[in-house]
Structure 1
Amino acid sequence: MDSSRNHEPATARRTLWRWFAQAVAAAVLVTAYFLLPVDGLGPRRPTLSWTLFGLILALIAALLLHQIGHVLLDHPHARPGLVIPLLMSLSILVFATAYQALAQHPGELIGLDTRLDALYFTMVTLATIGYGDITPHGQAARLVAMLQILYTFIFLTAAATALSRQVRTVLLRRRSDRHPP
């Protein structure tokens, strides 16, 4: 009997478990984004707000780079398929939180009134669509928008590339396991 067939159900269960874990983690992140109070951030406490924003983004970037390194070096225990999407999602939510905090200052972000608006604007900026319905008018909002664009170009693009490389490697490995030469 082919030993690779004995491993297929276990591999399928692990894959389903990972997808489930990612879905739960993503749901927790989004729920936290909508429920956590961030009223103390923004124009009322600018030093704390900018410090937290910078530290959290730097931490996420460092974790992303760590995962990217694991992929590039073919680290045997790397789990980028689980970690990278969550870190990417977290960075999106951090930018959305920053926009929501900035919107508390009148004239900073025109058209941004709710957390959903902030998440929408973050995604539109990430996708480089720019519908124009929400616009950064203040200097701080424009700075965060530029930081998001740079962050996306550098970290999120590298993370997505590493993730796609890992997926391709796993698929090729599975294919070669099923159809040995």
Structure 2
Amino acid sequence: MAVGVAYFLLPLDHLGPGRPVLSWLLLTLVLIAVAALLLRQVRDALVERPGARPGLVIALLIVLTVHVFAAAYYALAKQPGEFAGLHTRVDALYFTVVTLATVGYGDITPRGQAARTLAVLQILYTFVFLTAAATTLTRRVRDMVVRRTEQDDRREGRD
């Protein structure tokens, strides 16, 4: 919830075509930080570190990633010719989710080279980091369910 509120309150109008170097640098640094945090959570889940709460943290980092890309799309859309159909923060969030889900309705399209580069970056980032995180999270939940089922079976004497 807080990530969504922050997304709509951040002063994104100071980024984009007026400050391209700052915009790309900030995007790169945030994505690297989120990727590092995701990889740490994946590691903690795989080694089953006691006290780790990867389920909550991974879910929050995935939501944060969606909002980071949406913010980047919104800032980039200020540059004429980069996007067709992307005008608001809601449009940017929608485009990010549609791209993440690989739906591609076609109502918003990246037209410029920077917009297309950002879309490719999002797809690659999703393949590598978000897929690894989601797979790890799914595996952890499955393992927890199997352990609980085995414990219940032992308690009930069904070896």
TM-score for the superposition, normalised by structure 2: 0.94
Which aligned pairs between 1:85-164 and structure 2 lie closer than 5 A?
A: 85-164=59-138
Distance (whole Å) between structure 1 residues aligned to residue 39 and residue 129 of structure 2:
8
Distance (whole Å) between structure 2 residues aligned to residue 120 and residue 175 of structure 1:
39
Match of 1:13 in 2: none
The CA RMSD measured in Å over matched residues stands at: 0.9
TM-score for the superposition, normalised by structure 1: 0.83
Structure 2 residue 41 is the aligned partner of structure 1 residue 67: yes
Give the residue type in structure 2 aligned to 1:138. Answer: G
Residue by residue over 1:100-144, the C-alpha shift from the partner in whole angstroms, topping out at 9 and shown as x without a partner, is: 000001110110000000000001111111111101011110000
Distance (whole Å) between structure 2 residues aligned to residue 164 and residue 76 of structure 1:
18
Larger deviation, residues 168-177 vs 112-121: 168-177
What count of residue pairs does the alignment treat as equivalent?
Answer: 155
Q: Return the offset for 1:179.
A: 2.1
Distance (whole Å) between structure 2 residues aligned to residue 69 and residue 113 of structure 1:
39
From 142, 146, 151, the counterpart of 1:168: 142
Structure 1 residue ranges (4+ consecutive) displaced by more than 3 angstroms after TM superposition: none
Residue by residue over 1:34-68, the C-alpha shift from the partner in whole angstroms, topping out at 9 and shown as x without a partner, is: 12211100011111111110000000000000111
Distance (whole Å) between structure 1 residues aligned to residue 32 and residue 47 of structure 2:
22
SS in 2 for 1:132: coil
Distance (whole Å) between structure 2 residues aligned to residue 114 and residue 38 of structure 1:
11
Distance (whole Å) between structure 1 residues aligned to residue 4 and residue 147 of structure 2:
34
Structure 1 unaligned spans of 5+: 1-26
Structure 2 residue 18 is the aligned partner of structure 1 residue 44: yes
Identity of aligned residues (%): 61
Residue by residue over 1:77-111, the C-alpha shift from the partner in whole angstroms, topping out at 9 and shown as x without a partner, is: 22111100000110010000000000001110110
Q: Return the offset for 1:71.
A: 1.5
Distance (whole Å) between structure 1 residues aligned to residue 147 and residue 49 of structure 2:
15
Distance (whole Å) between structure 1 residues aligned to residue 149 and residue 123 of structure 2:
37
Distance (whole Å) between structure 2 residues aligned to residue 114 and residue 60 of structure 1:
24
Structure 2 residue 8 is the aligned partner of structure 1 residue 34: yes
Distance (whole Å) between structure 1 residues aligned to residue 2 and residue 27 of structure 2:
20
Match of 1:57 in 2: 31
Q: Return the offset for 1:177.
A: 2.4
